[in-house]
Amino acid sequence: TVEKDVSGVDLNCGCPKKFSVSGGMGAALMSNPDRLCAILEKLVQGLDVPVTCKIRVFDDVEQTLQLVRRIAATGISALTVHCRTKVMRPNEKALWHRLGAIVKELPDLPVILNGDIFEHSDVQRARDKTGATSVMTARGAAANPSIFRAQGKLSAMDTAVALTKLAVQTSNVFLNTKYILLQMHPETKSRSFEILNKSRRYKEMCEAMGLAEYYEREGVYLIHERSEPAKSKNKPGKGPLATAEGANKRKLDEQDKISGQDAAAAAASEQSGEAEADAKLGGDQKPGSGSGSETKAAASADIAEIADAPAAKRLKA
């Protein structure tokens, strides 16, 4: 079951997107507290991992407090509050001042602040200003995951390049990596962003991120065929060498195999000719000399050895 693979289960009642709200999910559950709490109770009773919940705030303070009291009574382990209303957009400043009343209302429940966390220093600032136990971030981390560094953020491009190399090393799914990098890239008007946006394979992505040499040196051997979109007109690769370079290597191996077969055929033909010559000379040789049969056997052994040798050894022979 999923429970065995996760550290906890969160019910997101904060998503304002149309596809969620129109289906009665996300922020729509806030307007149906009976259903919301029934779901949480089922999860809490049926799971052995922590169950948490995320909500937004209502325009009305008291309506918000009534909802959080009911949610807390279900037995959840923590509550995350996105400090915006359902209709507020990300470019509108988060309502941090609304969280203090919720923290006071739920003294025994960890309350997590969500909204406008973009720097490592924002974590402590949010705690000091609201009393929140911790924080949750989405856009900040998506734009630059290094916001979690206590020493300060790295540049967005340096972080994006490092993430690209990590994705190659782990053969992460191409489309997933591309989506992440498009969120992180700091220069959306640049040529590199344009190449990244049009990329269809890891090779093109690495070129856009200034990692062309790294890809040629290491990446080509690390990317598994399942990580990249299938090529409609080409047969899928076998094993990890599924790139164009890997296909070339397989082609050379096949040519080497064919060359070996051709050499074996030529050796067999030559052996047949020598056998015929030995038959003609056999009548002129004295009985017991064995020169014809011994010569034929030695020649056959040499030919067989050459035919079975790798291409490089055959050329040398």
Catalytic residues: 15
Question: How far is residue 280's CA from residue 271's CA, in Å, rounded to a whole number?
Answer: 15
Between helix 244-281 and helix 291-308 the angle, nearest 10°, is 170
Give the three-state DSSP class for 109. Answer: coil
Beta-strand pair 9-12/134-136: unpaired
Asked if 49 and 77 touch (Cβ cutoff 8 Å), the reply is no
- Asked if 253 contacts 275 with a C-beta cutoff of 8 angstroms, the reply is no
186 Cβ contact partners less than 8 Å away, ≥ 6 residues apart? 155, 156, 157, 160
CB 101 within 8 A of CB 61: yes
CA 295 centroid distance within chain: 63
Task: For the sheet with 51-56, list strands across it.
Answer: 9-12, 51-56, 78-82, 111-114, 134-136
What distance in Å separates the CA atoms of residue 146 and residue 142, rounded to the nearest whole number? 10
DSSP 3-state assignment of 65?
A: helix
Radius of gyration of the chain (CA): 35
Whether the Cβ atoms of residue 27 and residue 13 lie closer than 8 Å to each other? yes
